[in-house]
Structure 1
Amino acid sequence: MVISRSDVMVSCGRKVDSCMNEVEKKQPHRDMFHNRREIECLLTASQIRSRQHLIETMLSCIRQLFEYNIAQRRRILKLLEQVDREDLTRGLGVGWGSIHGILVHLMNTEIYWIDTVLRGVETERVLSEECEDMDAISKHWSRVEENTRNLLSDVNEAYLQNVQSVRWDGTIISFTVAKALLHVATHEIHHRGLVIGLLRQMGYDPPDVNML
């Protein structure tokens, strides 16, 4: 969400006209040009402060979502250490085949968005054969998590509004950094729910991962 003065003025236009009517009633002797300029400046400043507050709130929420994901991820990984490898790699008819496949997909998705798209760094993807057990998966994910934390510590309100673009199947897709980060966070939440459902189907007792 990039804020420009013209955007703000368009959104405030009706408010300016309404305020002008009130001023004209109370101070008919005043120069209307100066009245309008004063009102426009006041409304513009107010609108910018409001937008800025929203952006600051969004950044706080994004960081909280990632901290929540990291905390719940660790709980799930700890449980998966007790799951038979056969159950981890069993084909269950889901998009990534198995729980093991979902975990590798989640790591590579985070690498793609955080490193490749947002940081502009070509980080090698995690190969399925490199993740023979949960210990290997946890080590790979620690590296992914470190890069994500580094990015989040550097993010500020201005950077959050930057527009990035990627090309998928010949089509250019544009989005703000904020939207990309929200996508990464909600993507993991979705797949974590899938993993929990699969674990329950196999008779395991996954932890409660609600935020509250």
Structure 2
Amino acid sequence: MACIEHIQVSVDRKGVDMSDDAFRLMEYVTFLKHRYFDVLSKLSWEDLVRNRDASFSSIRDVFLHIVNVEDSYINYILAKKGGKYTPYDFNKFNSLDAIRRQMDEVEAKTKRCLSSITAEELAAQFEWTRFDGAAMRGRGEDIITHLALEQIHHIGELICLLWQMNVEPPHIGWLQYLSQTTPAHVKG
């Protein structure tokens, strides 16, 4: 079996605006977040907060991390609020209603930010300091794309945790999502 050590793919965008892809990914993640919240809301609170030795100890904490990273990347870095962003104390979210309120609040702020972001801001370089002190830098468009991918990684984690509980995840892949949400006149 061959081992590929390094693959480099270079794509000439030829003036194609890729920012629409970043926004579509964010719409997809929001769609998935709501599907997963609906499934999680049917679980017992004990199942949601049980330590499962995941990236964040419980299903609640993994889900709140998905909300938290959106809040930090969009509503602090891109919205240029500056200052030190404080990660959520997951234990303060002691009910599904509290989690839902936080998700709705963050999504409303995200919608306001992304609906007003300019092409110049999408192309601009942003600098920030991560929670661990590392200096970071990225273009606005890349920050949005990174955020969507980060959230999708953790949705994958929720899939595994639900499978371990014999609960069917409500997952819909990217292509299936596009086929369900793209108007017929755009599909060709």
TM-score by length of 2: 0.78
> What per-residue deviation string (whole Å, max 9, x for no partner) do you get for residues 73-127 of structure 1?
1111011111111111111111201111112222221111112211122677543
List 4+ stretches of structure 1 deviating above 4 A.
122-125, 168-171
- Indicate whether 1:146 and 2:108 are aligned: yes
- Which of the pair is proportionally richer in helix? 1
Work out whether residues 59 and 156 of structure 1, in 8 Å CA contact, stay in contact via their aligned partners in 2.
Answer: no
- Indicate whether 1:167 and 2:129 are aligned: yes
CA–CA separation in structure 2 for the residues paired with 1:144 and 1:151 = 10
* Higher RCO (CA < 8 A, seq sep 6+): 2
- Indicate whether 1:74 and 2:34 are aligned: yes
Structure 2 gaps of 5+ residues are 1-11, 177-188
CA–CA separation in structure 1 for the residues paired with 2:146 and 2:78 = 12
Q: Counterpart of 1:145 in structure 2: which amino acid? A: E
What residue in structure 2 maps to residue 131 of structure 1? Answer: 93
What residue in structure 1 maps to residue 66 of structure 2? Answer: 106
> What per-residue deviation string (whole Å, max 9, x for no partner) do you get for residues 122-166 of structure 1?
677543233212221111100000111111111232221100112
Q: Counterpart of 2:159 in structure 1: which amino acid? A: I
Please tell me whether Structure 1 or Structure 2 has the larger radius of gyration of its CA atoms: 1
Count of aligned pairs: 161
CA–CA separation in structure 2 for the residues paired with 1:82 and 1:198 = 15
- Indicate whether 1:208 and 2:171 are aligned: yes
RMSD: 2.1
What residue in structure 2 maps to residue 156 of structure 1? Answer: 118
Structure 1 gaps of 5+ residues are 1-46
TM-score by length of 1: 0.69
Q: Label 1:140 to 1:202 Cα distance change in 2 as closer, same or farther (>3 A).
A: same
CA–CA separation in structure 2 for the residues paired with 1:124 and 1:189 = 22
Deviation at residue 208 of structure 1 after TM alignment: 2.7
Correspondence for 1:65 among 25, 28, 49: 25
3-state SS of paired residue (1:82): coil
